[in-house]
Structure 1
Amino acid sequence: MSATATHRTDGASFVPLGISSEATAAPGYQLLRRNGAVTPFDARKISIALTKAFLAVEGSTAAGSRRVHEAVEELTGQVVSALTRRVGEGRLFHIEDVQDQVELALMRGEHHKIARAYVLYREERARERTAEKEFATAPSAPALKMTSEDGELVALDETRLTRIVEEACNGLDAVSASPILTETRRNLYDGITQDELSLAPIMAARTLIEQEPNYAFVAARLLMDKLRREALSLVSGRAEQATQSEMASRYASYFPQFIATGIKAGLIDSELERFDLQRISAALKPERDLNFQYLGLQTLYDRYFLHRDGKRFELPQAFFMRVAMGLALREIDRENRAIEFYNLLSSFDFMASTPTLFNSGTTRPQLSSCFLTTIGDDLEAIFKGIKDNALLAKYSGGLGNDWTPVRGLGAHIKGTNGESQGVVPFLKVANDTAIAVNQGGKRKGAVCAYLETWHIDIEEFLDLRKNTGDDRRRTHDMNTANWVPDLFMERVSMDSDWTLFSPDETPDLHDLYGAKFRAAYEAYEAKAERGEMRVHRTVRALDLWRKMLTMLFETGHPWITFKDPCNIRSPQGHVGVVHSSNLCTEITLNTSKDEVAVCNLGSVNLVNHLGENGLDFDRLAATVKTAMRMLDNVVDINFYTIPEARASNLRHRPVGLGLMGFQDALQKLRIPYASAAAVEFADLSMEAISYHAISASVDLAAERGRYGSFDGSLWSQGILPIDSIRLMKEARPSVDMDESMTLDWEALRSRVITVGMRNSNTMAIAPTATISNICGVSQSIEPAYQNLFVKSNMSGDFTVVNAQLVHDLKARGLWDEVMVSDLKYFDGSVGQIDRIPDDLKALYATAFELESSWLIEAASRRQKWIDQSQSLNLYIANPSGKKLDELYRLAWNKGLKTTYYLRSRSATHVEKSTLKGTDGKLNAVSASVAASSITIDQNGAWAKACSIDDPDCEACQ
């Protein structure tokens, strides 16, 4: 076919699409051909190849088809966009990468016959090239040159390349250096830069992860080589590199150089230089660099490691030690404690939250994860609250704002004798502030607004995340949550009326809950009936509930959280009221105009605490004891950006110890998530964590003193979280919560009363969206989303395979390319693959295959032990109004304090064709939408509302 024109039967001409399209323009890019030649990249040839593929399948009539023309233009644009998004200006595309993207574009566009013909053509040409090589007598290839850092051409050291790849494969089953080296050499060219040479084997290893999960470790080790070259060269001031084996002796000398470099750059607190660095350096364990999987190390590389001028100078063990030293600054024996903290972090037994990892040991140690504020009802208070949001978000804090006190639409403004525009315009300002303050580029600013269900603006609040309507009254980037009183849920159950008020006329409702709220609310209703209230409206409670659930399904917001359980079971009801939760719905702390609640988070890696006989209680006790000390230290070391946060945190000292790797633990124990055994394990494991967390806080109180507001708390009365269920049942007899226990709580209760507690709150289960990636385990308490999928976050897109499933399939002789293909076809689900046995189908059932009631049952068992709450996502494959109603009523009846995202299966799922070439920065529609809650706009179109790994949701951890 001519590159300029193809003639239609009607006499019109067809120019291959993409020739003049701006979408296909890629100036400055080059193409590396199979023979090593480098030529300018020409997007027109992609259009030509695609057109030929359509002609081959559909015949000559395709040339005259507008459908084909438009399809070719769109596909060409997608291919060029995918290629250019993955590389920088002036970089090379390999011919095979281009063809991989063409194949992917055809499959995504559901041009399956065309794609099949294209694949067969590629295979035929590959066979022809192989045959040609076998019979040709080509001269030996000349030795390749590499462009050094200073721009000079030097010999490419293939011996070292081979050594690094082989070393990365050492000790791992089912991996080989050969395919990595073959793919790497295919991408080498004369004059390749050092960075490109480092990336080539990494990219080669990543393409193999879907076939064998251990290649995730290989890719990480290859990335370590690139990182070592950057870090060692920067701290030493000269070009330097080292293998993993050489680092056994090099780490100790590197660490003091690292500290000095960080201090000189103004990034590390100079106090760290006063530690005994020789002793600290000797405690580093270089072999733990081998424990990373690729996603975890790449995340650290992109967002956590300290850097100067874009070059990382912090290696993983230095990173963990820097964090540990920062947390040990005020300890008496700082070195011993730093080493103790380091061993816990670097072993992945426990991981501190993201702000702690970002900032510990730095010149601005803002280590806390979550901040909760109450916004006052006047302009000064409102804009102070928005300013506080900016200051708190600047250093990586996630925000929860209680907006209930702000008067509603139509309320009287005494100062101007006018009418209020309500809470929505101010929420729009808060939304835009969160976008403007992006936490130093490390992640987006993130905030959640809470509003009580009786607020007159509640219906407008429900619409904030809609994609239609007046955009000035929409907050597309802000999370929202309903703060729901028990009385409303009772009215829903009775199908009775519900009255909405403006808080300037009902100011006490904000601070009341339980029986006192009921009495005051009903008194205001009577007052409204008498015509004594300026602003009010009566709605059918069930209609409002249905709208809440509809918006939750359509937009993913507002989340459903319950005011009364959060307050009735709060240990701190004697000194305030819980007015909201936080960004991720696991924190339940008091707020007021004088106090901004602060919480310091970290998570136990549950799967690391399994032994031959199940949960290793001794190891868990030791981990929790050290973790609680680390979290308590955060309170004193923390850099506070506003005085209200400092005053609150020092007075109450709340922390939130959580867990991750729950699904991994179940699979190791051979327990299906949807089973009574899983619910029992949730109960057992959380009881152990709760017991040891409370015990550790008592130990800290004995050593350091009890927290300032201890007297009068539930703790001081001997009412532990398990005991506070009784208070819930007194307030709401219908609540259905298990109260069984297995440990000696009476003895611990006695210690709490006599010794006291160091911390007002001790536990909260956060989402662990990022730190679970670092540790290479399943997120928080989440069921597995898919067993093979593309995970998207701020570091890019990554192939993730359930290694435990692969191990089990191998053991039964079922792991092969057909199985990989089947997993892709069924979106990572094993349920529809006939050859997989039923026991494995039950064990590896994915989130959308589980009845969400099992998630709620397990959460209820955990909630009985937790003094705060848990980030609980709910999954529903085929949602309906009835199902959502039953689900959220069950959550309320089971005594849950909060729920988080509602995840609905989207229209597009995991890639149906090869994932080769998609790893890294693809951001394909099917990858990013696969785990979304969804919106359906007025035209019935599907749109992304929130991704399962949306970086906006990472602010807690």
Structure 2
Amino acid sequence: MAAPVLRGTTSAEPRVVRRDASTSDFDASKISVAMTKAFLAVEGDEASASSRIHPLVERLTAEVIGALTRFPTPSVHVEQIQDQVELVLMRGGHHKVARAYVLYREERAKLREEEPAPHVAVDTATWTRIETIVGEAVAGVEDVCAEPVLAEIRRTLYDGISTTELAQAQEMAARTLVEREPNYSTVAARLLLDRLRREALSFLHGAPSSLDQAAMCAEYPAYFRAYLRKAVDLGLADPELEWFDLDELTAAIRPERDLDFDFLGLQTLYDRYFLHSDGTRFELPQAFFMRVAMGLAIREADRVDRAIEFYELLSSFDFMASTPTLFNSGTTRAQLSSCFLTTVDDDLDSIFQAYRNNALLAKYSGGLGNDWTPVRGLGAHITGTNGTSQGVIPFLKIASDTAVAVNQGGKRKGAACAYLETWHIDVDEFLDLRKNTGDDRRRTHDMNTANWVPDEFLRRVEADGEWTLFSPDEVPDLHELYGVEFALRYRAYEAKADRGEIQVFRRVRAVELWRRMLTMLFETGHPWITFKDPCNLRSPQQHVGTVHSSNLCTEITLNTSPGPDGEVAVCNLGSVNLAAHVTPEGLDAEKLRRTVTTAVRMLDNVVDINFYTIPEARRSNLRHRPIGLGLMGFQDALFVQGIPVASEAAVGFADRSMEQLSFHAIAASSELARERGRYETFDGSLWSHGVLPIDSVRLLEAAREQDDLRVDRSSTLDWDGLRERVRTVGMRNSNVMAIAPTATISNICGVGQSIEPQFRNLFVKSNMSGDFTVVNPHLARALKQRGLWDEVMVADLKYFDGVLAEIDRIPADIKSLYATAFEIEPRWLVEAASRRQKWIDQAQSLNLYLAAPSGRKLDELYRLAWHAGLKTTYYLRTQSATHVEKSTLRGTDGKLRGVQAATPEPIQPPVPDTCRIDAPDCEACQ
């Protein structure tokens, strides 16, 4: 059999990289011999006598070579060749043979580990330190040991290796073992911590430092003082922090919590959050959490005690503030808010002021939601020039480019979302903004878009009625109306159009526009579907204005108004780690109460501390003081309790856990009102009338007329007492709850994002910090308990994309509990979201998953979301958007290569049942 020509080579003789880094010629016969031996080991002499084994092995060998020819390098590692043999055997259904082959490889690997160590290219003292650090890294971690890490380090050493390279080699050695044992992620994190510790101490002391973790525990108080002094000197930290009682604060620091991270969490902090000077990090994890806590407590009367209280909450991962707060708290530019919502008025001054505001808000890590509905549509008359308008689309293109230009100091991409109401005459072009075809001057490839859909439109869809599109300059009050008032006024404008009193309008069949909206979700993932009337009818602040849009991630619903005297809505976010508040027996309600009470205080402090980049944001935030307390780790909390996400029990847990969070958050805000005073616009709000979020459901129900609103109204707590307390004492915050995506802060805490179902049980997560292997630790633990976790199981998980359904030896109860997002019916996600929504005064970032999307399924799903009383939805994700690449996680350079997001397929025309979207995680809110 001829040797394959691998991609990128010019030679017909590719090279094979051996384990000792030497190379040899590729020899296909070795693959055939290895496979033949594997079949003989399983099937015995009978197989050798059979004529079928020879053509079978020949065919399988050809498949292996075919896979190798697709490798992007001119050489292949011997381990990569063996990985392909494994996978070809499994694909062919030869599972027993594959298992034998895997076990043989494992035995050979153990023998190699027991061989005498090769020459170590470091001195004895250095190697002794490596052994000490690796020993510390594995201490107390289940199912790991130092020997395989040390063996992997030995194989990567070479003469002249630098200190930095040596540190990275240690981390990489542990990372290569993660697929075999997920707990090596903790080991890798601790080895990264050692590199960070040496980097920070050497920078502060001006000389190399080599303290291990045990010595660092005693050194932490002195380190913290030196760190804070340096941060102030460099202009990175607020000098006011040095006026805290540092003796009390340093005594409260818990150095051992530096060991609690997994690798993804610590690497994310290292790359993007820790203070640094010219790229040199000098902020250790507990110093980071204490700096954030001190910044949030800086205006407290008892600020040392409050800083310690806040530090405890953050460093324990019970609660995590949003990314802007973590970036900037305690610094000289304390822009701590997450989300900003604006309305753009119909004149050039307002439009170009909006661009400026977007740039200033994005500069310090704010996510943007822009309401563009007031801008007149294509063909509308312009009085000043006696011309006709080019519509809103060209202005959106500039807004998109602005978001790209301002990338938040290089920490993450700037991001914005444009909202347009469904009656706007430009809605058809708005739907096309994210297409890859057409006039690029009328496309916004880097900006999110969302439909702001009134109930009247959905009523027309369900009745198969007509829908009329208008230019907002001729129907200006539609923008401010909602519910019954909107429906009546909209119908009156239709009558005016029939009488010829409106110049720019167009009639369409409502259901055809609806289908086009859903088709664009198929093709591009945008615009998202969000619902105007529930956002307004259930808003506590409807007495002071209209909610014209949501934010970048669709969880914030605050009123906005344009102009220099208008308001840019601001929300200040943080999330409770729900997984830290459950046991196998259920929710720890008392711990949740304590966490929520402290978290609400922290978020309220943000309003007063915050550095506001534009006056409209300051005015709005100080008047209304909205905060957005959310949650993350919902799926982990289900795993701990043994509850499958696709079950009535999971829906019930979503209901009861959100009820507890809502009750304690409202109570905490009311208690702050007693201590600090009510927010300025409290009088006239729903709160002031004793109408809590659970009560506002009836307002939506009344406005829906005959439409079916399917919202469970059950409750378990003493809401009557809380209503009276809120009505008489007041609220400190106009809005209290919102569930954000937590795309980044959940990584820090080592739990699943927000309310998301488990995407895969084994995958690589890609973000600005790199690619990280993620193995579901709950699943690994469950399989270990059943004696099912081994090399073959890992290979099966890789082959089946981290999905358990096709792995025969996994019991049905484990398959049910660890079902992934595309295996469950999306109605379960909608039902759980509906149960949460009744308790929330804002909204939630709800992604929807469809394994085999079609026009009919999408129609049913989004109508269900509307009937279930949801305020917003977020990304639509479909099965073909990403998958696990079926190759090893171990590359020739030690880097994790195999399980990663595949390159999206070319987008096809939007045909039902075949279209799909590529929906990347959004990190703008958190």
Q: Give the 5 Å matches for 1:467-866.
A: 467-593=436-562, 594-611=566-583, 613-733=585-705, 734-866=708-840
Letter of the 2:701 counterpart: K
SS state at 2:140 partner = coil
Letter of the 1:898 counterpart: T
Maintained 8 Å contact 1:386/1:430:
yes
Maintained 8 Å contact 2:199/2:280:
yes
Offset at residue 929 of structure 1 (A):
3.9
User: Which of 295, 306, 318 matches 1:326?
Assistant: 295
Q: Distance in 2 between matches of 1:258 and 1:569?
A: 47
Q: Distance in 1 between matches of 2:304 and 2:342?
A: 37
SS state at 2:695 partner = coil
Letter of the 2:901 counterpart: S
Maintained 8 Å contact 2:102/2:791:
no
Identity %: 65
Matched with 2:186 is: 217
The number of residue pairs the alignment matches comes to 894
Letter of the 2:408 counterpart: Q
RMSD: 3.6
Offset at residue 348 of structure 1 (A):
0.3
SS state at 1:372 partner = strand
Q: 1:767 to 1:72 in 2, by over 3 A?
A: closer
SS state at 1:363 partner = coil
Q: Deviations over 1:722-778 (max 9, x none)?
A: 110111111114211111111111111111111110000000000111111100011
Q: 1:729 to 1:934 in 2, by over 3 A?
A: farther
Q: Deviations over 1:515-560 (max 9, x none)?
A: 1111111111111111221111000000000000110121111110
Q: Distance in 1 between matches of 2:279 and 2:162?
A: 17
Offset at residue 918 of structure 1 (A):
9.7
Q: Distance in 2 between matches of 1:458 and 1:446?
A: 21
Maintained 8 Å contact 1:635/1:650:
yes
Matched with 2:274 is: 305
Matched with 1:144 is: 121
SS state at 2:779 partner = helix
Q: 1:392 to 1:31 in 2, by over 3 A?
A: farther
SS state at 2:629 partner = strand
Q: 1:396 to 1:110 in 2, by over 3 A?
A: farther
Maintained 8 Å contact 1:353/1:369:
yes
Q: Deviations over 1:839-867 (max 9, x none)?
A: 11111111111111011111111000000
Matched with 2:884 is: 910
Letter of the 1:716 counterpart: S
User: Which of 891, 903, 928 matches 2:901?
Assistant: 928
The answer to whether structure 1 residue 457 and structure 2 residue 416 are counterparts is no
Letter of the 2:628 counterpart: G
Q: Deviations over 1:432-470 (max 9, x none)?
A: 111111111111001111000000010111111111111
Maintained 8 Å contact 1:934/1:945:
no
Offset at residue 119 of structure 1 (A):
14
SS state at 2:731 partner = coil
Q: Distance in 1 between matches of 2:124 and 2:175?
A: 26
Letter of the 2:190 counterpart: R
SS state at 1:723 partner = helix
Offset at residue 906 of structure 1 (A):
1.1
Offset at residue 928 of structure 1 (A):
2.0
Maintained 8 Å contact 1:283/1:339:
yes
Q: Distance in 2 between matches of 1:519 and 1:757?
A: 34
Q: Distance in 2 between matches of 1:603 and 1:628?
A: 10
Matched with 2:138 is: 169
Matched with 1:375 is: 344
Offset at residue 933 of structure 1 (A):
11
Q: Distance in 2 between matches of 1:939 and 1:247?
A: 60
Letter of the 2:835 counterpart: R
Maintained 8 Å contact 1:597/1:649:
yes
User: Which of 303, 315, 323 matches 2:284?
Assistant: 315
TM-score, structure 2 normalization = 0.90
Maintained 8 Å contact 2:764/2:774:
yes
The answer to whether structure 1 residue 236 and structure 2 residue 205 are counterparts is yes
Q: Distance in 2 between matches of 1:285 and 1:831?
A: 43
Q: Distance in 2 between matches of 1:415 and 1:212?
A: 70
Maintained 8 Å contact 1:792/1:923:
no
The answer to whether structure 1 residue 206 and structure 2 residue 175 are counterparts is yes
The answer to whether structure 1 residue 448 and structure 2 residue 420 are counterparts is no
Offset at residue 18 of structure 1 (A):
3.5
Q: 1:511 to 1:908 in 2, by over 3 A?
A: closer
User: Which of 160, 163, 176 matches 2:129?
Assistant: 160
**Which shifted more, 165-174 or 610-619?**
610-619
Offset at residue 79 of structure 1 (A):
2.9
Offset at residue 911 of structure 1 (A):
2.4
Offset at residue 155 of structure 1 (A):
6.1
TM-score, structure 1 normalization = 0.87
SS state at 1:657 partner = strand
Q: Distance in 2 between matches of 1:765 and 1:805?
A: 26
Q: Deviations over 1:603-632 (max 9, x none)?
A: 001111114641111111110000000000
Letter of the 1:913 counterpart: S
Maintained 8 Å contact 1:934/1:942:
no
Q: Distance in 2 between matches of 1:20 and 1:210?
A: 34
Q: Distance in 2 between matches of 1:819 and 1:392?
A: 48
SS state at 1:724 partner = helix
Q: 1:636 to 1:17 in 2, by over 3 A?
A: closer
Maintained 8 Å contact 1:933/1:944:
no
Q: 1:739 to 1:823 in 2, by over 3 A?
A: same
Matched with 2:869 is: 895
Q: Deviations over 1:549-589 (max 9, x none)?
A: 11012111111000000000000000000000001000000
The answer to whether structure 1 residue 954 and structure 2 residue 926 are counterparts is no
SS state at 1:789 partner = strand
The answer to whether structure 1 residue 79 and structure 2 residue 70 are counterparts is no
SS state at 1:225 partner = helix
Q: 1:892 to 1:17 in 2, by over 3 A?
A: closer
Maintained 8 Å contact 2:522/2:917:
no
SS state at 1:722 partner = helix
Maintained 8 Å contact 2:882/2:918:
no
Letter of the 1:373 counterpart: T
Offset at residue 234 of structure 1 (A):
0.9
Maintained 8 Å contact 2:746/2:754:
yes
Q: Structure 1 runs of 4+ off > 6 angstroms? A: 14-17, 30-33, 50-57, 70-74, 101-113, 116-135, 918-924, 938-944
Q: Deviations over 1:480-539 (max 9, x none)?
A: 100000000000000010000000111110000011111111111111111221111000
Q: 1:758 to 1:817 in 2, by over 3 A?
A: same
Q: Distance in 1 between matches of 2:795 and 2:567?
A: 55
Offset at residue 128 of structure 1 (A):
11
Letter of the 1:174 counterpart: D
Offset at residue 832 of structure 1 (A):
2.1
**Which shifted more, 327-336 or 99-108?**
99-108
